[in-house]
Amino acid sequence: MNVTLRQMKVFESVARNLSYTRAASELFLTQPAVSMQIRQLERQLGVSLFERVGKRVHLTEAGKEVYQYSRSIAQTLDEMETLLADLKGLGSGRLRISVASTANYLVPSLLAEFHRHYPGITVSLDVTNRESLIGQLRDNTVDIVIMGQPPAGLDVDARAFMENPLVVVAPPDHPLAREKNVPLERLREEVFLVREPGSGTRIAMERFFAERGIQLKTGMEVGSNEAIKQSVQAGLGLGLLSRATIEQELALKRLTVLWIAEFPIMRHWYIMHRHGKRLSAAADAFKRFLLQDAGRPPAPA
């Protein structure tokens, strides 16, 4: 049997994603190159690994068995890479970090600061939704995840490192923009734009109002913070957003934060990884950096 590591790596990605297209983009290959590697692997092994039902790709029984081996090969290679990087110290190494879409507004500046301390460490940053973050934690394909609430039912080490206030935003000419301490009940008269299901911001918003017995009028469902901001500016309704997402719009006076009783909803950002995961030196350094230094004002020069 003449199976190559490359074939196993390509197979692992197609099997995990159940998609040739997603595997191709993950591995920076073309789709025909991915198909060719899989065909060669099937020929070497003498079995079919995938079957197509309509447009969907499924693993065959043999494919499921080979997937277990490909996962353990990938994990072993990862461990080897981590160990060697640790032997070389923090002058090199790789940090794979995945963050929730809202966290994308604060993480790049934190990474820039981290990079100033550890210029030799290569960072790969994935910005994705909460559901996919939970999948990455479950499959142990990422070093560090940053999101707004640790997932229930998954054994993770989660530490809060920064406050994440959620605020009600409106266009600056909104009638409530001039009022102070607006009672929560008054929000029943407004229309709210909401994020997509699965968004941490949306879950927090729904929980907050449900606990207070307030049923909001919800308007459009909008799939990103950017689109919510544009829609609020266009007068389609009020938005409930993490304060971190609106710095620029506040500075440019395109949006304003309403003063509502009991607001902001105070959440936190969490850094997390699978419980018991052996963190690489790079991931460990990033975790320590976040917990000790992040969010502090820089020391005076």
In the complex, least distance from residue 203 CB atom to ligand PGA, rounded to whole angstroms: 7
Instruction: Decide if residue 195 touches ligand PGA (CB under 6 A).
Output: yes
Which CB, 200 or 239, lies closer to ligand PGA? 200
In the complex, least distance from residue 199 CB atom to ligand PGA, rounded to whole angstroms: 3
Considering only 13, 201, 256, 280, the residue that binds ligand PGA (CB under 6 A) is: 201
Beta bridge partners of 170: 256
Options 48-56, 112-120, 137-145, 194-202: segment touching ligand PGA (CB under 6 A): 194-202
In the complex, least distance from residue 103 CB atom to ligand PGA, rounded to whole angstroms: 6
Q: Tell me how far the alpha carbon of residue 169 is from its chain's centroid.
A: 23
Beta bridge partners of 165: 266
List the Cα angle 235/237/240 in 5-degree steps: 125
Instruction: Decide if residue 200 touches ligand PGA (CB under 6 A).
Output: yes
Which CB, 16 or 130, lies closer to ligand PGA? 130
In the complex, least distance from residue 122 CB atom to ligand PGA, rounded to whole angstroms: 25
Supply the DSSP symbol for 182.
B
Q: Are strands 217-222 and 50-53 parallel, antiparallel or unpaired?
A: unpaired
- Beta strands of 2-118 (E only): which ranges? 50-53, 56-59, 94-100
Options 64-72, 114-122, 144-152, 279-287: segment touching ligand PGA (CB under 6 A): 144-152
Q: Are strands 122-128 and 94-100 parallel, antiparallel or unpaired?
A: parallel
Cβ partners under 8 Å of residue 120, min gap 6: 90, 91, 92, 93
Which CB, 90 or 203, lies closer to ligand PGA? 203
| Distance of alpha carbon 299 from alpha carbon 297, whole angstroms | 6
Contact residues for ligand PGA (CB under 6 A)?
100-103, 130, 147-149, 195, 199-201
